[in-house]
Amino acid sequence: MVDSLIQVFADVLEIDPAVLNDDSSPDNVQEWDSLSAMKLVAAIEEKFNVRLSTREIMKMSTIGRARKALQNKNVPV
């Protein structure tokens, strides 16, 4: 079963969630470019009902780091 955070990434980037993992980043996922990064932020904020600061967004360079940022905000992912 795909976890909810990976599913958000898969839906926004329109790719198979099976190719994503916590090490996925703009460096190894072609669809994850600068504009889709902001769509990801909007989707994460809507899905998990959080508001991310500039610093938190800048820290989200991989899915794993995005997960950690959400966990720091007490979001169970």
Partner 1 sequence: MTGITIVILTGILALSCAARFIRLIILRQLLLLSISYWAYAHWAGIPFLLLLIASSLVNYFWGSVLRRRPTTALLWVGIGLNVFLLGFFKYVPAMIAEWPEAASAGFLGDIILPLGISFWTFQGISYLCDLYREEELDPSLLEFCLYMAFWPTVASGPVARLPKMLPQFRQTSTAVGDDFSVGAVRIVQGIFMKFVLAHLLNVGLSPGGGVSAGFDDVAPARSGLDVWALAIGYGFQIFFDFAGYTNIVVGAARLIGIQLPENFNRPYLSTTPSIFWTRWHMSLSFWIRDYVFMPLVTLRRNVWWPYAGLIISMVIFGFWHGAKLTFAAWGLYHGILLVGHRVGQRLKRRIPIDLPHPLGVFMSWAGTFLLVSLGYIFFRANDLGQVSRMLRAVISPRSYAFTHATLPQDYYLLLSLMAGGYFAYVGLVDLLGLWTTRYRENLRRSEQPMFPQGLSRFPSLNGAILWIDGLLAARKWWLLTPVLVLLLMVTSLSFLNQNSNIAPFIYTLF
Q: Closest by alpha carbon to 4, among 44, 57, 31? A: 44
Contact map string, positions 17 to 56, toward partner 1, x by CB under 8 A: ---------x------xxx-xx--xx---------xxxx-
Closer to partner 1 by CB, 1 or 35: give it: 35
Q: Which two three-digit tokens encode residue 19?
A: 């190719």
Closer to partner 1 by CB, 2 or 71: give it: 71
CA distances from 32 to 24, 25, 57 (A): 9, 7, 14
Q: Site residues (CB under 8 A) for partner 1? A: 26, 33-35, 37-38, 41-42, 52-55, 57-59, 61
